[in-house]
Amino acid sequence: MNTARHEAAQGMISLRPYRPSDAVPTAELFRAAVHALAGADYDAEQLAAWAPADPDLERWSARRLAVETVIAEDDGAIAGFSDIDPSGHIDMLYVHPRFARHGIATALISHVLLRARELGAEEATVEASETARPVFERAGFAVVERQEVERRSVTLHNYRMRLALR
């Protein structure tokens, strides 16, 4: 993936591939997004299990490098990130709270869906949180089922969603 420019609600953002040097800022963004944006949908124990204060940065970076991870930047600041694997599965879509509702998530979803099509995926799938569910529904995803998942011995719910790409 090359660097690309996309228009978001508040102006132009740049999309670029994840680099190992992005491990700390993306892990911090992930934690900030979960704790600031999902608090209305999950309790404190669930938030702490989902996005703990002490992530394993080596494991984090390895996960980001194992799939095609894209970084959204606004004037040099990392505003969000997402990913896509060759089967069309999106594991992560997170936007820093400072950039929420600026079109960053929409630009990231559009980009990863384009990449999924280019990779030959028949469908895109995601396990979306209660918080992210409306974002994915606006992108055309439909709920397949609500599911209970366990993170660090704490139960949370999310939604298995899919979008046909062909």
Q: What is the pLDDT of residues 31-84, one digit of tens each?
A: 999 999 999 999 999 999 999 999 999 999 999 999 999 999 998 999 999 999
| CA pair distance 19, 23, nearest whole angstrom | 8
State mean pLDDT over 109-117: 97
Please, which residues have CB within 8 angstroms of residue 165's CB and are 6 or more apart in sequence?
Answer: 88, 113, 116, 117, 121, 122, 123, 124
* Residue 6 in this model has a pLDDT that exceeds 80: no
Q: Which fold has domain 4-126?
A: Aminopeptidase (3.40.630)
126-145, pLDDT tens digit by residue? 999 999 999 999 999 999 99
Q: What is the pLDDT of residue 9?
A: 45
pTM of the model: 0.91
Q: How confident is the model at residue 166 (pLDDT cuts 50, 70, 90)?
A: confident
Q: Is 164 left (phi over 0), alpha (psi -120 to 50) or beta?
A: beta
* Residue 2 in this model has a pLDDT that exceeds 80: no
* Residue 4 in this model has a pLDDT that exceeds 70: no
